[in-house]
Amino acid sequence: MTPDGFSRLAAAALAVGILLAAPGRAAGQAPDEIGIGRGSTPSPLVLEKVDGGRVDLGEYFGRRPVLLEFWATWCENCEALHPRMQEAHARYGDRVAFFAIAVAVGQSRRSVRLHLEKRPVAYPTLWDGTGQAVREFRTPATSYIVILDAGGRVAYTGMGRDQDLDAAIRALPAAEDDG
């Protein structure tokens, strides 16, 4: 097997691990919800930035809306979602805290840093090296988005390349667009 083929196989195997490690649908969760249930209040986490330093998400939860994107360098859906993330950040970044959370599946912190050198983002990228964020948000796969309202409650969850982030953010009272 080629090294590239092995990398893809390893990434696929580890992605299955995320799916198996993430708890199933929460009791009372609506059928169209994935991962953590709407209305849930997740525990604040402290994660490391991929470029050094730490971010205490508790400084944001319950103070302003927060958008979390769980992604990986090898995720094709994440790549396709990237322009929407950039547009949403450009439009709402002054009212919504954006964070990319790099999962520790099929990639290293170093490979994420190298990827970001070629394809930078305007918001912090955090490293979930222990999987604590994946577990807390019941992350089913990469390209998973969670949006918390200003009260710190889950207002939106979605997955895949075709998410309407604009509509999800506009549905937040504290993030309504003026124009």
Whether the pLDDT of residue 1 is over 70: the answer is no
Looking at per-residue pLDDT, the higher value among 29 and 77 belongs to 77
Q: Which pTM does this prediction carry?
A: 0.81
What is the structure's pLDDT at 34?
Answer: 75
Per the prediction, the chain carries an average pLDDT of: 83
pLDDT number for residue 155 = 95
Instruction: Report, as an integer, the average pLDDT of 72-96.
Output: 95
Average pLDDT of the residues in 28-57: 84
Residue 37: what pLDDT?
Answer: 92
CA–CA dist 44, 61 (Å, integer):
7
- pLDDT for the residue numbered 179: 41
Give the pLDDT score at 91. 96
Give kind and range of the element (H or E) at residue 137.
Answer: none
DSSP tag of 58:
G
CA-wise closest residue to 66 among 19, 8, 129, 136: 136
pLDDT score of 106 more than 90: yes
Q: In this structure, which amino acid lies at residue 158? A: G
The pLDDT confidence band at residue 173, using thresholds 50, 70 and 90, is confident
Query: How many alpha carbons fall within 13 Å on the CB side of residue 59?
Result: 8
Bridge partners (DSSP) listed for residue 71: 102
**What is the radius of gyration, based on Cα positions, of the chain?**
16
- pLDDT cut 90: percent of the chain above it: 75
Average of pLDDT values for 124-133? 96
| Burial environment of residue 24 by CB neighbours within 10 A (0 to 12, 13 to 18, 19 or more) | exposed
Instruction: With a cut of 90, say whether residue 17 has pLDDT above it.
Output: no
**Mean pLDDT, residues 20-31 taken together:** 40
Range 76-79, long-range pairs (CB < 8 A, 24+ positions): 76/161, 77/142, 77/143, 77/159, 77/160, 77/161, 78/142, 78/143
Sequence length of the chain is 179
